[in-house]
Each structure stands twice: as structure tokens, then as C-alpha cells.
Amino acid sequence: LPSLLSIDAKPYAFAFPPQHTALLVIDMQRDFLLAGGFGAIQGGNLEAVQASIAPTKKLLEVCRRAGLTVFHTREGHKPDMSDCPSSKLVRQAEAPENTQHTLVIGDKGPMGRLLVRGEYGHDIVDELAPLPGEVVIDKPGKGSFWNTTILHKLKARAITHLIVAGVTTECCFATTIREANDRGFECCGIEEATAGYNAEFKCSSLEMLYWSQGLFGFVSSLQPLVDTLE
């Protein structure tokens, strides 16, 4: 590959050095994507998020073939919940008026304890399973940089640019791009490879990322990237 590539993006072309670019796939876990998981219990639209699985698979395949560094994240907690921010637990538990919240983080659902490491529901869906050598970051927050080793692991691999996919657009995807932007990484989200729990959230979240000449970064469609890397 050439030392610098460029793809059509909003608000303008995204230029990236493939040797220093990682694909970062956020939280494509059963708990956020499948029936009976944490997302469904929150009231999320599963059809919307499931639509991001196939494009993310394509994106992974293309990036792997091109030799890009691949990172995955998983949101979740230690079985004793000692790493769960108190706000996250309290807010869930104290929402009696919201009847959707019948279960909270750490409770036992059909795929195991919700968002707890080691449980079936916490892991990444089969279609997008990490390969040996790919980095998996377990994170207790929405953003991928808080209380994780991701910054060190990206720097150790001389990564400066991130191509970002995953769920949900409004939550962990956007929070991670905002965190990465503050740390100097140039980020480009891939529109088809992210999804939110409702269409308006996805749309506004993406618009906010690239508003004002790239406030937090870039957004591109999948095809220009596929064309460039293949």
C-alpha cells in the first residue's frame, strides 16, 4: 500500500497512513446486539443495530487483508462489579418509572450476567470474532480510554489514525471518538458499520462528529474505503 491514502469523507477527504492506522471496532457484543441482552433490556431497537454487523464484517475483512492493525473493545465489568462506575449502577437501579429496566448490569439474563466479563452475552458476536494477534480492550466505561490500556497499546504500535466502527453510535462509538480526538488521534467513523438504538440518535451523533470542519473527526461510507484498500 502507498504510505498515504485518502478517501471521500465528510466534511472533507480523510487522509491516513495505513501503516499507522488501526481499525477500532467498538462493543459488537451479544449484549448490545442480540435478543435478551443489555441493549434489548434498555429498550434499544435491535434490528437497527443488527444491520451494522454485515458491513462491519466486510470492513474487518478488508482491513485485515490490507494488513491494518485491528483493535476490538468490549464494555463490561469484573464479576464483583468493583470497576462499575457508581453512576452507571445507581441510574439503572433507580429508574422504577421506566418499566423497561427490569434487569440491571450484573443481573442474570438469558445470556448470562449482563455486561459481566466471562459471560456469554459479554463477548463479541461470532461473525466479528477477533483473530489471534488482534487487540481486545475490556473497558468499564462508555469511552475506550477511561480506565483501560488502549492509549499505551495504540502508541506502542505507532498508531495515529483510527477507522472506527461499532455500537452504539450515540454512546460508546461517539464517546470513544471524542476521547481519541482529545488525545490527538485522527478518527474516521464508517457510516454503515455503526448503528444506534434509534435512527435520529445515529444521524445527529454522526453530524456532530464532523460538524464545523471536523469538530471531532470524519465520517465516510464503507465503499470508498473498500475501493482504496482492495
The contact set with ligand TIU (CB under 6 A) reads: 27, 32, 42, 75, 142, 167-168, 171-172, 197
Which cell is 77 given?
Answer: 465489568
35 CB neighbour count, 10 Å cutoff: 11
Smallest gap from residue 70 Cβ to ligand TIU (A): 18
Q: Which is nearer to ligand TIU, 18 or 141 (CB)?
A: 141
Shorter beta-carbon distance to ligand TIU: residue 7 or 31: 31
Closest distance to ligand TIU from the beta carbon of 50 (Å): 14
Q: Which long-range contacts (CB under 8 A, 24 or more apart) does 178-181 make?
A: 178/143, 178/216, 179/143, 179/144, 179/145, 179/146, 180/144, 180/145, 180/217, 181/216, 181/217
Residue whose entry in the numeric block shows the C-alpha cell 478517501: 7
Give 5 or 139: the residue with its C-beta nearer to ligand TIU: 139
Least distance to ligand TIU, CB of residue 21, Å: 22
Between 14 and 32, CB nearer to ligand TIU: 32
**To the nearest whole angstrom, how small is the minimum distance from the Cβ of residue 62 to ligand TIU?**
23
List active site positions: 27, 139, 172
